[in-house]
Chains A and B, each alone.
Chain A
Amino acid sequence: MSFFSSYIYGPNENLGRLYLTVSSLITFGLITLYSISTDPLSINSSFMRQVIFIIFSLFIFLILNQINVKTIHDNSTLIYIFSFLLCFVPFFLAPVENTYRWIDLGFFYIQPGEYLKCATIILIAKYLSNHQLEVKENYIVVIPILIAFLSSFLVLNQPDLGTAAIIFAPVLPMMLWAGVSIFTLFLLIAPVITIIAASNSVIFNIWGILMFIIFLAFQGSLIKRILIYFANIFTGLLFPFFWNDFLNGYQRQRFIDFLNPDLDPMGSSYHIIQSITAIGSGGLFGKGWGQGSQTQLKFLPVQESDFILSVIAEEFGFFGIAVIMFLFFMLIKTLLDIAFKSSDYYSSLVIVGLTSILFSHIFVNSAMTIGLMPVKGLPTPFVSAGGSFMLLCFIILSLVTNLSKN
């Protein structure tokens, strides 16, 4: 290894690559924020605030790096309980924008739901590592899913549909990583697909047949397989009732808007249309830094956080998007490499869980800007403006650093 690369990468090559990727993402984000800030050097601009958040998060990162992995492992349950209780705090404070998601610390807001995501992963990893010999049994999936449900239910009441959904993202990858059988995992996702398929009778029929074949292919008691199959079909048939009777008006509206963005151009799908126009008009090489008319004319809503990728797409074009997607790919791949190389089971599981969180944010956020998913306030890691989430990303980084050292 040359002197240069050892300088950058340090003793642990993967960690070095991780830091390099993260720094590149942060730089990209800051360049973009500078472009959209009216007065970037004023203390209230999103650019300067982001700089301050990064410095603050870096400071916390360096402090957390001193914590031993064993401390985290041994106190997994305690960490979870603490994060869980923290989520109750906003209910005793004044609501921020009519929700109970935030705790106002004066200089910035923290969102305890974000930290509950990490704590949920830590607890599930602890459980799986304690029951490592039973992973081939079907019942192993019960406890992790219950933990995720518990966290999700609490967050849902804040109310925060986005975070509540993201809490489930790490469950499947973690169980896969832990060694749970593919068929068991299939049983888990089948109902979800059934529900989505239920919106269209043709798709529902195709899925029914496909599922039938898959059930036949796997081994196990015939009666059990038949029962599960019909349970799935019933879920699909019952879903329309649930949709009509249990979902809030605005939740339904979000889905409807998503399925049909041209329906109400000035209503809530206005965001998606403006975002797609900004992205599409960017072209191959973009309109240039600070030259995005959609962005600069403020057509684009929440451009510094939720729609920052649209700004990048407009000002730097497909070229810019390709670069940022490559960086995201490198980020996730490096994390998976670290998890794979990690010397112990628990650390490896936690890293996979945290990676899933970051990835689901990246995916949902990008998909939202291009109209592939409903509008949901999920920021992009290391790029979007916002103190609470930036801090979370650095905490994740610190956890990964600690766990990989072991």
Chain B
Amino acid sequence: MLKIENKADIFHYRTLLFVLILSILTLLSRYFYLQVIEHERYSSKSKVNSVRAQATYAPRGLILDRNGVVLVENYPTYILTVTPYELDDQEKQFQIISDITEISIDELSRRYKKYYQGKFLPTIIAKNLSFAEISQIEERRLELNGIQYKRFDERLYNDMLKDAHFLGYLRELDRESLPFLDKSKLYRAGELIGWQGLEKQYENELRYSKGIDYIEVDTFGRKINRTNEKNIPAYPGKNLILSIDSKLQQFSKNLLTDQRGVILVSNVDTGDILSMVSNPSYNLDIYRGETTDSDWKNLLSDKDKPIINRNIAGLYPPGSSFKIITALNLIEDGLLDPEDSLMCTGSYTPPGSSNTFNCWKGDGHGLVDLNKAIAQSCNVYFYETVQLIKLSDWTKTAKIFGFQNKTDIDLPNELIGQIPDKEFFINTYGRWGWSERGVLLNLTLGQGDILVTPLQSLRYINHIASKGKTAKLKLNVNKKVEYYDDIILSEQTWDRIIKGLYDVVNMEGGSGWRAMQSEVKLYGKTSTAENPHGEPHAWFNGFFDFGGQTYSLVVLVENGGGGGAVASPIAGEIVKFFTNEQVKMVNK
């Protein structure tokens, strides 16, 4: 019991009770008035005079290459929808549709369940109907109450590039994904949305803006007429123009024939990517509908992984191109005189160790200075000199060039690879399971625990080609040119490295001599990256000047063998394409 006793007055109780009864009766009488006395009026109003907002659509934006070739366009098809409330006999009606479209009843029922949005709302159950099928449905109109067809745009890929991963694809939205999307874009289940690649990256630009028609409908959602001029028109999506040159893309693709690998070509000055091949690939048309489950399973379980865009999601050891990282540390920190020579006898034994590390050239390179070491890719030179460098300095330099970092290309799902540092080694091998000197012998050759994507490798070569100031890689020609953080090194350092890369291709005994072209000066670095999956990966990273612009390229052949023997000739062919075609790669 608290301090004061309740002395509530019966009069107060009755006053409040009176207010309560009065209020409830007021409400009830109003309900009675609306529901009983005025029922007829509202009943007919609800039947015929319900204004309903209906979405209207416009085409999605096209995707074109830099020369205006249409790569992805829209293709009108018909879809079949079901309004659950109006179905007379679902089983029988689905049987008719199944007979006409040759889609099994089970599949129809599955889609019906998956895309169901409510009793009175149309649910998509079949796509890609031919005109003949539509005619048959129209003939049996009377038996198919509640089933409608309407136009629906699908994506159509240009035959030239229908296997280009970066284009991406659209997917039908299901109810589960809806809550995660931008509400203002008015997405609905069953509509198409960019799900991968550029279609996803530029979804906001490519997607049409939905319009709204206010229509009067009856109880069954049937249209009576359009109401007023407050309708909002639908606008088509914006076209997307790519930096890709589809001829070059196709040409590069053919160079790889049936080898697994990657070819990248870019304009160093603008960051525009001209070619981005990932082999093997698959036909993007499979997203258009009738792909069976077993086709899907085959594609997903293929051990060559055609579904992956290796350019951004393939991880490889970089091999000898990483010798440049060591070289930069040596020159920039003044750890040795680049003119000094060492003797390569074909093998190297670290001080105090009994293990011997071999050069790829069994009988040795003889006297080697830095330039020759780069040009001929001498292992022993780098085994010895890397001993002057600290692991932390080495990883820092690698990261400055963008490794273990996104290239910020306009594609989703880019991987960042791995540059191992001290912490990594401790976590992986324990405090005493590794030594700094030991791991550096591996790292300096670009082997061991390093993993990079081909696109990162392209960025790396662009940094070198532009002496540290290079544009961010991109596929959208109209995207503003942005730059990566400048890499500031002395002019002589850059010149020395670039001279080395020139000699790789053009000097007697250079490892990339097979790429040499008479008309164009090509710079580059071959790599032969050992890996646990069989033959080494063959790399060639390089750049060249053509028509006043600097272009770069990355060739990677998975388990192809030597970089000099396998990747260099492909690089040479690409340069030849430029000279033969006299490509008008003028900056846009």
Complex CA–CA separation, A129 to B2 (angstroms)? 10
Encode A363-389 as 1/0 by CB contact (under 8 A) with B: 100110010100000000000000000
State whether A176 touches B42 (Cβ < 8 A). no
Known: A296-B120, A345-B6, A370-B31. A280 touches B50 (CB 8 A): no
- Chain B 171-212, CB within 8 Å of chain A: the 1/0 string? 000010001000000000000000000000000000000000
Bound: A276/B39 CA distance, A: 10
Mark each residue of chain B from 1 to 25: 1 if its CB lies under 8 Å from any CB of chain A, else 0.
1111111111011011100110110
- A38-B118, A299-B50 given; A344·B4 CB < 8 A: yes
A279 in contact with B31 (CB, 8 Å): yes
Q: What's the nearest-Cβ distance from chain B to residue A31, in Å?
A: 17
Contact, CB under 8 Å: A279 / B52 = no
Q: Which of B194-251 contact A (CB under 8 A)?
A: 214, 217, 219-221, 228, 230
- Chain A contacts for B121, CB-based, 8 A: 298
> Chain B nearest CB: distance from A66 CB in Å?
18
Interface residues of A in 58-111 (CB under 8 A from B): 69-70, 73
The docked-state distance in angstroms from the alpha carbon of A340 to that of B10 is 8
> Quick check: B20 and A321 within 8 Å, CB to CB?
no
Instruction: Please determine whether A370 and B46 come into contact, CB atoms closer than 8 angstroms.
Output: no
Known: A297-B50, A317-B35, A336-B17. A348 touches B6 (CB 8 A): yes
B343 at the interface (CB under 8 A from A): no
Chain A 267-325 residues near chain B, CB threshold 8 A: 270, 276-284, 290, 293-294, 296-299, 313, 317-318, 321-322, 325
A19 at the interface (CB under 8 A from B): no
Given A342-B6, A345-B7; A283-B35 close (CB under 8 Å): yes
Which A residues between 338 and 360 are near B, CB-CB below 8 angstroms?
339-340, 342-348, 352, 359
- The residues of B that contact A278 with a CB separation of less than 8 Å are 46
Partner of A280, one of B21, B35, B228: B35
In the assembled complex, the CB of A226 is this many whole angstroms from the nearest CB of chain B, namely: 28
Shortest beta-carbon distance from B484 to chain A in Å: 32
- CB-CB under 8 A from B9, the residues of chain A are 179
Inside 8 A of A162's CB, which chain B residues have their CB? none
Q: Is A44 an interface residue (CB 8 A)?
A: yes
Q: Which of the segments A217-225, A232-240, A326-334 contacts the partner chain?
A: A326-334
Residues of B within 8 A of A14 (CB): none
Contact A177 B8 (CB under 8 A): yes
Say yes or no: B27 contacts A318, CB within 8 Å.
Answer: no
Contact between chains at B16 and A129 (CB < 8 Å) = no
A24 within 8 A of B: no
8 Å CB contact of B20 from A132, A329, A348: A329
Note all chain B residues with C-beta closer than 8 A to A73. Answer: 2
Residues of A within 8 A of B12 (CB): 176-177, 179
Are A321 and B31 closer than 8 Å at their CB atoms? Answer: yes
Count how many chain A residues have C-beta atoms less than 8 Å from C-beta atoms of the other chain: 59
Give the chain B neighbours of A38 by CB distance below 8 A. Answer: 116-118
Residues from chain A with a CB closer than 8 A to the CB of B26 are 372
Does B35 lie within 8 Å of A366, measured CB to CB? no
A366 to B32, CA, bound (A): 13
Instruction: Find the A residue at minimum CB distance from B214.
Output: A266
Least CB distance from B106 to A in Å reads 20
A69 CA to B1 CA, complexed, in Å:
9
CA distance A347 to B1 in the complex (A): 10
Q: Is the CB of B2 within 8 A of A406?
A: yes
**Does B34 make an interface contact (CB < 8 A)?**
yes
| A328→B221 CA distance, assembly (Å) | 35
Residues of chain A in range 116-140 having any CB-CB distance to chain B below 8 Å: 129, 132
Question: Is B41 an interface residue when CB atoms closer than 8 A count as contact?
Answer: yes
Q: What CA separation (Å) do A68 and B192 show in the bound complex?
A: 58
**Contact assessment for B5 and A176 in the assembled complex, using a CB-CB cutoff below 8 Å:** no
Contact with A along B337-365 (1 / 0, CB 8 A): 00000000000000000000000000000
Residues of B within 8 A of A298 (CB): 118, 121
Q: A296-B119, A321-B31, A339-B8 are in contact. List 20 more A-B contacts (CB 8 A).
A: A39-B116, A44-B179, A70-B2, A129-B4, A179-B12, A266-B51, A280-B46, A281-B42, A293-B120, A317-B35, A332-B20, A336-B17, A340-B8, A344-B4, A345-B5, A345-B6, A346-B4, A363-B23, A363-B27, A370-B27
Interface residues, chain A, with chain B CB atoms under 8 Å away = 38-39, 44, 69-70, 73, 129, 132, 173, 176-177, 179, 265-266, 270, 276-284, 290, 293-294, 296-299, 313, 317-318, 321-322, 325, 328-329, 332-333, 336, 339-340, 342-348, 352, 359, 363, 366-367, 370, 372, 406
Residue positions of B touching A, CB distance < 8 A? 1-10, 12-13, 15-17, 20-21, 23-24, 26-28, 30-32, 34-36, 38-39, 41-43, 45-47, 50-52, 85, 116-121, 175, 179, 214, 217, 219-221, 228, 230
A-B contact pairs, 30 of them (CB 8 A): A39-B116, A177-B12, A179-B9, A266-B51, A266-B214, A266-B228, A277-B42, A277-B46, A279-B31, A279-B34, A280-B41, A281-B42, A282-B35, A283-B36, A293-B120, A294-B50, A297-B217, A299-B50, A318-B35, A325-B24, A325-B27, A332-B20, A336-B17, A344-B1, A344-B3, A344-B6, A345-B2, A345-B7, A348-B8, A370-B30
Q: Sorted from nearest, which 5 A-B pairs have the closest CB atoms? A: A280-B42, A281-B46, A345-B4, A318-B35, A348-B6
